[in-house]
Amino acid sequence: MHFDPVANMQLLVSGLAFGSIYALVALGFVLIYNAVGVVNFAQGEFVMFPSYIAVTFLLPAITVFGTVVHWQLPIVGVYLLVLVLMVGFGLLFNRIAYHPLRDRGWMPVVISTIGVSIFLRNAAQMIWGSQPIVMPSLFAVDTISVGPLHIRPQDLLIIGVTAVLIAFQFFLFERTTLGKQMRATAQDRATARLVGVRVGRIVAITFVYSALLGTISGLLVAPLFTVTKEMGALIALKAFAASIVGGFGSIPGAIVGGLAIGVIETFGGFYISSAYVDAIAFIILISVLLVRPQGLFGERVAEKA
């Protein structure tokens, strides 16, 4: 294997694009973790479900519940529609899977999110069947060539949208009242409640925001992935890993963790072994955990006795 600068650039772009998706989904994990202290195992379905809804309205013809429908709507309208529907989805998810269990510790919530995940995956199969579905791309060309480098515009879009969302999130958390309330809830719910934050509402908003992050990730990757009921599962697992590498609960950690896993995986697949590519990610993850159990950006939890 000789060193090839073009190949390396190619790997970097692809790694960053995938890393951006991991980072976006990881942000969703981190938000929910911060707000309610649990991991949402249905986060992958937050990516998958909106993708299905989007293709349902985008394609000239699609089979829904065994009948062919022709709803082809303009792309911007569809994106907005999906986002609105996913707001409702986030609220419903909070109501069903989290709210009844909010005082029962993290384990029951984990199990209930697993249940929802099983439900949604198979509901998707019931509704849309098992055929993978292509989401139309926003771009007329699949690839642009820059010298010897071949770049997919979709990859650039993913990286760009992720950057914008990170900036937006920074603004939201640092500059707005809502963001400050979310942070207060994350840090200490009891105190937040004392100072007048409506914690229940903030938690609901967190679920909605997390669902929207999933939705955007889904809309971004669907043109590259094809829409299937499994499409969110592995992304979610890697994003979970990313959020832990970064330090659970840390937003910059989730971003750096996501990008790092994306890039390391792609390079690892090329230089070490593509058969063991998932192992590479997890070996790095476990090593990070053992050296720095709080993750790269996590704060060392003060020992309390």
Partner 1 sequence: MSSADDVAAAASGLLEVRGLVKRFGGVTAVNALNMTVRAGDVHALIGPNGSGKTTTLNVISALYRADGGSIRFDGGELAGLPAHAIARLGVARTFQNIRLFGDLSVVENVMIGRHVRTRVGFVGALLPGGATAREERETREKAHELLRFVGLEHVAGASARSLPYGDQRRVEIARALASEPRLLLLDEPAAGMNPAETDTLVVLLRSIRERGTTLLLIEHDMNLVMSVSDRITVLNFGQHIAEGQPAEIARNPDVITAYLGGTLDAA
Partner 2 sequence: MTSNPNVTLSGPNVTLSSSKGGASRPVAIAVLIAVLALLPAFVHSDYLLSLVDTAGIYAIVVMGLGILLGFAGQLSLAQAAFLGIGAYTSGWLTTNLGWPAWPSMGAAMMMSALVGLAVGYPCLRLSGHYLALATIGFGIITQLVLINWKSVTNGSDGMGNIPPPQIGSFVFDSYGRYYYIVLVAVLACAYVAWRIKTTRVGRALEAIRENEIAARATGIDATRYKIIAFVLAGAYAGLAGSLLAHLTKFISPDSYSFDQSVVFLVMLIVGGSASISGAILGAVLLWFLPEVLRPLKTSYIMVYGAAVVAMVVFMPRGLVGLLDTLRTRFTRRPDAA
Partner 3 sequence: MRLDRKNFLATTGAVAAGAAIGFPAIVGAAPEPIRLGTIPCLTGSNALLGQQEHEGAALAVEEINARPDKVYGGRPFEIVEEDATNDNQSAVSALNKLLGENVVAIVCPVLSTQVQAMAPVMKTHEIPWMTGGTAVKNTQLGVPGMFRLRGSDGITGAGMTNFAVKDKKGKKIAILHASDAFGVGGADQIVQSLKKLGMEPVANEQYPKDAKDFTAEILKIKQAAPDVVLMYIQNPSDTAIILKQVHSLALNVPIVGSPSLGNQTAMEVAGKDAYGTYCAVDFIVGFNSNVATHFLTSFFRKYHHLPDVGTGSGWVYDAVYMLADTYKKQKGTDPKQTIASLKGIKNWDGVLGTFSADAEGNMVHSVSIGQNQDGKLHLVKKVSG
Distances (CA, A) of 292 to 237, 247, 297: 20, 9, 9
Smallest gap from Cβ 102 to partner 3, in A, equals: 31
Smallest gap from Cβ 180 to partner 3, in A, equals: 37
CA distance linking residue 290 with residue 158, whole number of Å: 32
Smallest gap from Cβ 290 to partner 1, in A, equals: 19
CA distance linking residue 14 with residue 281, whole number of Å: 16
* Residue 224: contacted member of partner 3, partner 1, partner 2, none (CB under 5 to 8 Å, by partner type): partner 3
- Sites of contact with partner 3 (CB under 8 A): 1-2, 4, 7, 10-11, 14-15, 18, 63, 68, 122, 125, 129-134, 142-143, 145, 150, 152, 221, 224-226, 228-231, 233-235, 265-270, 274-278
Closest CB to partner 2 among 219 and 242?
A: 242
Q: Which runs of consecutive H residues, i.e. helices, occur in the chain?
A: 5-36, 43-58, 75-93, 106-128, 153-175, 177-187, 189-194, 199-225, 231-246, 251-271, 277-291
Smallest gap from Cβ 65 to partner 2, in A, equals: 12
Helix (H, G, I), strand (E, B) or coil at 60: coil
CA distance linking residue 243 with residue 238, whole number of Å: 9
Closest CB to partner 1 among 188 and 230?
A: 188
* Residue 116: contacted member of partner 1, partner 3, partner 2, none (CB under 5 to 8 Å, by partner type): partner 2
CA distance linking residue 206 with residue 52, whole number of Å: 23
- Sites of contact with partner 1 (CB under 8 A): 302-303, 305
Supply 184's token pair. 């207060």
Supply 169's token pair. 């999130």
Smallest gap from Cβ 171 to partner 2, in A, equals: 28
* Residue 123: contacted member of partner 1, partner 2, partner 3, none (CB under 5 to 8 Å, by partner type): partner 2
* Residue 199: contacted member of partner 1, partner 3, partner 2, none (CB under 5 to 8 Å, by partner type): none
Closest CB to partner 2 among 220 and 239?
A: 239
* Residue 283: contacted member of partner 2, partner 3, partner 1, none (CB under 5 to 8 Å, by partner type): partner 2
DSSP characters over 83-127: HHHHHHHHHHHIIIIIGGGTTS-HHHHHHHHHHHHHHHHHHHHHH
- The angle, 0 to 180 degrees and rounded to 10, between the axes of the packed helices 277-291 and 231-246 is 30
* Residue 302: contacted member of partner 3, partner 2, partner 1, none (CB under 5 to 8 Å, by partner type): partner 1
Smallest gap from Cβ 222 to partner 3, in A, equals: 11
Closest CB to partner 2 among 113 and 181?
A: 113
The secondary structure of residue 133, as a DSSP letter, is B
Closest CB to partner 2 among 165 and 264?
A: 264
